[in-house]
Amino acid sequence: MSLALPVRKYDAIVVGAGGSGMRASLELARAGLKTAVLTKVFPTRSHTVAAQGGIAAPLANSTEDNWHWHMYDTVKGSDYLGDQDAIEYMCRRANEVVVELEHMGMPFDRLENGKIYQRPFGGHTQDYGSAKMAMRACAAADRTGHAMLHTLYQQNLRANTQFLVEWMALDLIRDPQDGAVVGVTALEMETGEVSILQAKAVLFATGGAGRIYAASTNAFINTGDGLGIAARAGVPLQDMEFWQFHPTGVYGAGVLITEGVRGEGGYLINKDGERFMERYAPNAKDLASRDVVSRAMTTEIKEGRGCGPEADHVLLKLDHLGPEVINQRLPGIREIAIKFANADPVREPVPVVPTVHYQMGGIPTNYLGRVVVHEGSNHESIVPGFYAAGECACVSVHGANRLGTNSLLDLLVFGKASGEQVVKDLQTSPKPHRNLPKDAGEQTRARLARLEAAGSGERVADVFAELRRTMQAHCGVFRFPDDLAKGVERMKAVAERAARVYIQDKARTFNTARVEALELDNLVETAMSTIVSAEARKESRGAQARADFPERDDKNWMKHTLWYKEGNRLAYKPVQLKPFTVEAFEPKARTY
């Protein structure tokens, strides 16, 4: 391919049309910037649609509450790895963004007095971690994410945002002078044509990458494209060792079974029928926090008390609740269990395993959504023209562990903040587009040309399956030193195989095999950054639980990991422990 790629010019490009991308694009379109939003799938089909639980905001509609308490919970939940400036910023803007969403038409559940109804959620407390729960989660029935996406989509249509649907971003284009981002290459699936989208600002909102694990609650589109693209362009990935596991994903399928089941009295048993959580958490039992339950389940399986022919899962028992409770108070659960576990929970227990759910790490940004890298002694050197928000970004508000309902809040606050920052950057000192570098698009052309030319090699599906198996076996809930070291080697072999994949279908138009091959490159970067970062961090903190270093080590490890693709190397930067206006929360043991 020697022909130059066609170029389209915009003021700003947003990659991703989930909650964060559409919240950001709304700011851009309303400010009158010529904006394009790229998305692999139709906007309202983004993975945000799956969110059920709610959005955190200290509105204090049902219980006393304020942003200080919310901030404390978030800092503690992060196991003190979260940046306290960003956390303060998020909690202080929470009420504003949720009320704004209400005014846009979001159908929140309501109290009799008309205010937004709020429910309790794990880890959200009153009065700095007291035993009293804060009612802080705002929801729209069990369809919060769906309602949020539809609301934001309608607002964007009104603001004349231009959506490029079924367009896949492939690589970043950076100015070699100072590393500024000046555009992306992208594939229009319908035609198979690759273009350069040139812009003064590029904002990534590509979501999570949970598909790197064999057991995942994430939909198939969550392949970590933004992470792979950034890493290939020399941007480090931050804190990738931290992945949240949800205790109850359906064995073999991943589909999430809500905590509500255990809230209603369901409990976990091992192959002997023992209610094992009584041993691990005598008080909270099956309702202990996600990481505690996931670790207990994994220990049972490791010690040979797992169920099934492979002894590789445990069972969630709820038949004792009776069909009425199951049907009425746990809508949808029976259908999921029957469909994906072939078990009717009214009669028999449901096989479950800890299942990867959420990525705390990502592209490093500051609280204004600007991508920052580490340069010499400056940990916060700004990459001009590059912004990120949502699950693909690491602000970092979630640190080593995210609290439920804080992710949707993150999308709204930092989607908005990053959009505002782009507008400010483009409008306070208006400049023409920079020239594209001479080799713009070359990286993409080379990737596509290799796929085009290869007549034999590895199958995408085989390499992907091996990648997921490797991550599951070597970098799961519990991390063992030998496993991790072997896992890094196994991942290197996966990466080598991925470089040799070929596709049989060479058609130009709507070639899903090509798309999947391109996604595989992003999965490889995400998985590699995860396992290398996990192997190096010699402590247990939040979602990283090491058998050989079971304690948190603030003296040596209260720092953010940065993984660079080049050289597969790591660097570290300090955690921002100083909030803007309040006293810092000093690290304490994280007990609930």
Partner 1 sequence: MDAAADSRSKEMRLRWKCRRGLLELDLVLETYLQRTRYDGELVELLDLPDNEIWDFVSGRRDDYEQRFAGIVARLRAT
Ligand X SMILES: Cc1cc2nc3c(=O)[nH]c(=O)nc-3n(C[C@H](O)[C@H](O)[C@H](O)COP(=O)(O)OP(=O)(O)OC[C@H]3O[C@@H](n4cnc5c(N)ncnc54)[C@H](O)[C@@H]3O)c2cc1C
* 225 belongs to the binding site for ligand X (CB under 6 A): yes
Within 10 Å of residue 550's Cβ, how many Cβ atoms?
A: 9
Select 323 or 331, whichever has its Cβ closest to partner 1.
331
Torsion of CA 363, 365, 371, 373, to 10 degrees: -80
* Residues in contact with ligand X, shown as a per-residue x/- string from 232 to 261 under the rule CB under 6 A: ------------------------x-----
Select 147 or 575, whichever has its Cβ closest to partner 1.
147
For residue 363, the one-letter residue type is I
Considering only residues 514 through 533, tell me which ones interact with ligand X, judged by CB under 6 A.
none
Give the H/E segment covering residue 433.
none
Give alpha helix (H) positions in 233-314: 260-263, 277-280, 290-302
- Minimum gap (Å) between residue 150 Cβ and ligand X: 13
Are the beta carbons of 131 and 147 closer than 8 angstroms? no
* 20 belongs to the binding site for partner 1 (CB under 8 A): no
With CB under 6 A as the contact rule, the residue among 405, 444, 529, 576 that binds ligand X is 405
With CB under 6 A as the contact rule, the residue among 13, 14, 18, 396 that binds ligand X is 18
Give the H/E segment covering residue 55.
strand 55-56
For residue 14, the one-letter residue type is V
Coil, strand, or helix at residue 285? helix
Residue 116's nearest CA partner among 134, 96, 139, 94 is: 139
- Which of partner 1, ligand X, none lies near 495, with the C-beta cut-off 5 to 8 A by kind? none
| Polymer length of the chain | 592
With CB under 8 A as the contact rule, the residue among 25, 35, 39, 44 that binds partner 1 is 44
Secondary structure string (H, E, C) spanning 79-106: CCCCCHHHHHHHHHHHHHHHHHHHHCCC
Select 76 or 150, whichever has its Cβ closest to partner 1.
150
* 391 belongs to the binding site for ligand X (CB under 6 A): yes
Stretch that binds ligand X, among 213-221, 285-293, 334-342, 575-583 (CB under 6 A): 213-221
- Which of partner 1, ligand X, none lies near 70, with the C-beta cut-off 5 to 8 A by kind? none
Coil, strand, or helix at residue 531? helix
Select 44 or 540, whichever has its Cβ closest to ligand X.
44
Stretch that binds partner 1, among 97-105, 211-219, 391-399, 484-492 (CB under 8 A): 211-219
Sequence-ordered list of residues with C-beta below 8 angstroms from that of 217, at least 6 positions apart, any chain: 50, 210, 246, 249, 254, 255, 256, 355, 356, 357
Residue with tokens 């694990």: 213
- Which of ligand X, partner 1, none lies near 335, with the C-beta cut-off 5 to 8 A by kind? partner 1
Select 148 or 562, whichever has its Cβ closest to partner 1.
148
* 342 belongs to the binding site for partner 1 (CB under 8 A): no
* Residues in contact with ligand X, shown as a per-residue x/- string from 120 to 159 under the rule CB under 6 A: ------------------------xx--------------
- Any idea what DSSP says for residue 117? P
* 255 belongs to the binding site for partner 1 (CB under 8 A): yes
* Angstrom distance (rounded) from CA 495 to CA 144: 37
554 vs 135, 424, 531, 586, CA distance in Å?
A: 31, 37, 21, 11
Tokens of 340: 């994906």
With CB under 6 A as the contact rule, the residue among 52, 62, 299, 511 that binds ligand X is 52
* 27 belongs to the binding site for ligand X (CB under 6 A): no
* 47 belongs to the binding site for partner 1 (CB under 8 A): yes
DSSP bridge pairs for 313: 307
- Minimum gap (Å) between residue 2 Cβ and partner 1: 25
* Residues in contact with partner 1, shown as a per-residue x/- string from 423 to 462 under the rule CB under 8 A: ----------------------------------------
Stretch that binds partner 1, among 212-220, 240-248, 435-443, 491-499 (CB under 8 A): 212-220
The DSSP secondary structure of 180-233, one letter per residue, reads -EEEEEEEETTTTEEEEEEEEEEEE-----GGGSSSBSS-TT-S-HHHHHHHHT
- Which of ligand X, partner 1, none lies near 179, with the C-beta cut-off 5 to 8 A by kind? none
Give CA 138 to chain center in angstroms.
20
* Residues in contact with partner 1, shown as a per-residue x/- string from 145 to 164 under the rule CB under 8 A: -x---x--------------
* 323 belongs to the binding site for partner 1 (CB under 8 A): no
Select 388 or 501, whichever has its Cβ closest to ligand X.
388
Instruction: Tell me whether residue 295 is one of the annotated catalytic residues.
Output: no
Sequence-ordered list of residues with C-beta below 8 angstroms from that of 470, at least 6 positions apart, any chain: 487, 490, 491, 494, 527, 531
Select 123 or 487, whichever has its Cβ closest to ligand X.
123
* 336 belongs to the binding site for partner 1 (CB under 8 A): yes
* 17 belongs to the binding site for partner 1 (CB under 8 A): no
Are the beta carbons of 335 and 301 closer than 8 angstroms? no
* 290 belongs to the binding site for ligand X (CB under 6 A): no
* 75 belongs to the binding site for partner 1 (CB under 8 A): no
With CB under 8 A as the contact rule, the residue among 219, 343, 422, 534 that binds partner 1 is 219
> Dihedral sign, CA of 52, 58, 60, 61?
negative
* Residues in contact with partner 1, shown as a per-residue x/- string from 176 to 205 under the rule CB under 8 A: -------------x----------------
Which of 92, 290, 334, 537 is catalytic? The answer is 290
Give the H/E segment covering residue 267.
strand 267-269
Within 10 Å of residue 507's Cβ, how many Cβ atoms?
A: 11
* Angstrom distance (rounded) from CA 413 to CA 405: 13
DSSP bridge pairs for 560: 573
278 vs 153, 266, 352, CA distance in Å?
A: 46, 13, 18
Q: Contact residues for ligand X (CB under 6 A)? A: 15-21, 38-41, 46-48, 50-54, 144-145, 167-169, 205-208, 217-218, 221, 225, 256, 357-358, 390-392, 404-408, 411
Q: Contact residues for partner 1 (CB under 8 A)? A: 40-41, 44-50, 143, 146, 150, 166, 189, 216-221, 253-256, 331-332, 335-336, 339-340, 507, 509-512, 515
Residue positions annotated with a catalytic role: 290
